[in-house]
Chain A
Amino acid sequence: EVQLLESGGGLVQPGGSLRLSCAASGFTFSYSTMSWVRQAPGKGLEWVSGFSGNGLSTFYVDSVKGRFTISRDNSMNTLYLQMNSLRAEDTAVYYCVKDWQAGDWGQGTLVTVSS
């Protein structure tokens, strides 16, 4: 059974940083493309970033380019999202998602950017 467990969310001031983690199990992580999708409170879904299984390709939505960095540690079966220069509009639940077609989702971790 695929399991994705996010952690690292919390309250941070505007301009601050956070690193999210996603611990994966139940599948061959190193072969899998992985992504982050977020959902602002009461709003819809937004694809934030993706990382290919072979590490050759990364993708970002324009609103986070230059501020967020996706990475992975295949030896630890863990996906990361380093978020810098955070803004109020980055406040959202961040979901870890497996494969380019979002076949499996974690339970999410809440990031709140506020002073």
Chain B
Amino acid sequence: DVVMTQSPLSLPVTLGQPASISCRSSQSLVYSDGNTYLNWFQQRPGQSPRRLIYKVSNRDSGVPDRFSGSGSGTDFTLIISRVEAEDVGVYYCMQGTHWPRTFGQGTKVEIK
């Protein structure tokens, strides 16, 4: 199975400051169709996960533009340009290229 490794696992941030989460995969996530299926999810306390970013850098509908994704191959990054209080929660990366789908361990974002 493809192992997804996130860092850091805990991320205290100051309101209004940027936050960055890294995700690395044990294999390339480039699919045979040329796309890279790396997605990012946010799970607020007590809620279901919600997809923020698909195929590395595409924001889902309704996702604020302070969230951005980048990367290629096996190295990917989620950036929150200016953290707001509503961004508190756990963030997961997920690879959608290989079976079974696999998630990173999660990064807990909290306000300092």
Residues of A within 8 A of B (CB): 35, 37, 44-47, 50, 59-62, 95, 100-108
Contacts and interface: CB of A to CB of B under 8 A. Distances in A.
The dominant DSSP class at the B interface is loop
Nearest to B104: A44
A4 to B, nearest CB: 9
Contacts of B50: 105
B6 to A, nearest CB: 10
A95 B92 CA distance: 15
B51 A103 contact: yes
Nearest to A48: B100
Contact of A102 (B1, B96, B100, B104): B96
A105 B41 CA distance: 11
Chain B, interface residues (CB within 8 Å), range: 20 to 34
B101 A50 contact: yes
Contact of A45 (B37, B92, B99): B92
Contacts of A104: 51
B87 to A, nearest CB: 18
Contact of A44 (B37, B48, B105): B105
Contact of A101 (B54, B103, B106): B54
B22 interface: no
Given A45-B94, A47-B103, A102-B49, 4 more contacts: A44-B103, A47-B100, A100-B37, A102-B41
B99 A107 contact: no
A45 B51 contact: no
B28 interface: no
Interface in B81-110: 92, 94, 96, 99-106
A59 B99 contact: yes
Given A44-B92, A45-B94, A101 B99 contact: no
